[in-house]
Chains A and B, each alone.
Chain A
Amino acid sequence: MIRHQYYCRYLLTLVLCLVGLNFWGLPSQATSKNFSTQPQLPKNQLIPGASYYNLKVIPGSEQSLTLSITNPSDQTKTVKVTPVNATTADSGTIAYVPSNRQDESAETTFTKMTSVAVTVQLAPRQQKTVTLKTKIPANGFQGEIRGGLFVADLTPSQSNQQSNSTQFHLNNRFAEVTPVILRCNIDQKLRTNLKLAQVTVNPQPTVPTLTAKLRNLTPAAFGQLKIQAKVAEKATGKIVATQTTDQLAMAPNSWFNHPITLGKQTLAAGHYILKLDLTSGKRDWHFEAPFQLSKQQVKQHNISLKKATPARPWGRWLLISGTTVSLLIGAYWLGRRQAHS
Chain B
Amino acid sequence: MTKSQQLSGLLSFLLLIGTPLTTLAADTSDKPIDPQKSTTGFEIIGSNLQFSSFSDFKFESDKAENIINHEVTLHSIDKEHTLAIQDYRGTHEGWTLSATMSNVTEKDSGRTIKQPTLTLNPTLSTADSQKLAPNKNIRLTPTTTQPVLNVAENSGEGNTQLSFTNTTITIPKQYDISAGTYTADLKWTLAPITKVDTAQ
Bound-state Cα–Cα, A47 to B92, Å: 13
- Kindly report which residue of chain B lies nearest to residue A99, judged by CB atoms: B145
A33 touches B52 (CB 8 A): yes
Interface of A is mostly: mixed
Bound-state Cα–Cα, A39 to B98, Å: 20
A273 CB to nearest B CB, Å: 25
A159 touches B145 (CB 8 A): no
Interface residues on B, range: 35 or more
**Mask: chain A, 186-228; 1 = CB below 8 Å from B; 0 = not:** 0001111010000000000110000000000000111111000
Known: A167-B181, A176-B49. A11 touches B10 (CB 8 A): yes
B56 touches A157 (CB 8 A): yes
B31 CB to nearest A CB, Å: 21
A13 CB to nearest B CB, Å: 11
Is B162 on the interface with A (CB-CB < 8 A)?
A: no
Is B165 on the interface with A (CB-CB < 8 A)?
A: no
Is B48 on the interface with A (CB-CB < 8 A)?
A: yes
B48 touches A36 (CB 8 A): yes
Residues of A within 8 A of B (CB): 4, 7, 11, 14-15, 17-19, 21-22, 24-26, 30-38, 47, 49-52, 54, 70, 89-91, 93-97, 99, 148, 150, 152-153, 157-160, 163, 165-179, 181, 189-192, 194, 205-206, 220-225, 249, 280-283
6 extra interface residue pairs, beta carbon distance < 8 Å, beyond A97-B145, A172-B55, A175-B188: A33-B52, A97-B98, A168-B60, A169-B181, A181-B194, A194-B199
A-B contact pairs, 27 of them (CB 8 A): A14-B14, A21-B20, A26-B20, A26-B21, A31-B84, A36-B50, A50-B93, A50-B192, A51-B89, A89-B144, A90-B146, A94-B196, A95-B98, A97-B145, A152-B187, A165-B181, A167-B60, A168-B169, A168-B183, A169-B183, A170-B59, A170-B183, A172-B54, A176-B51, A177-B189, A221-B196, A281-B198
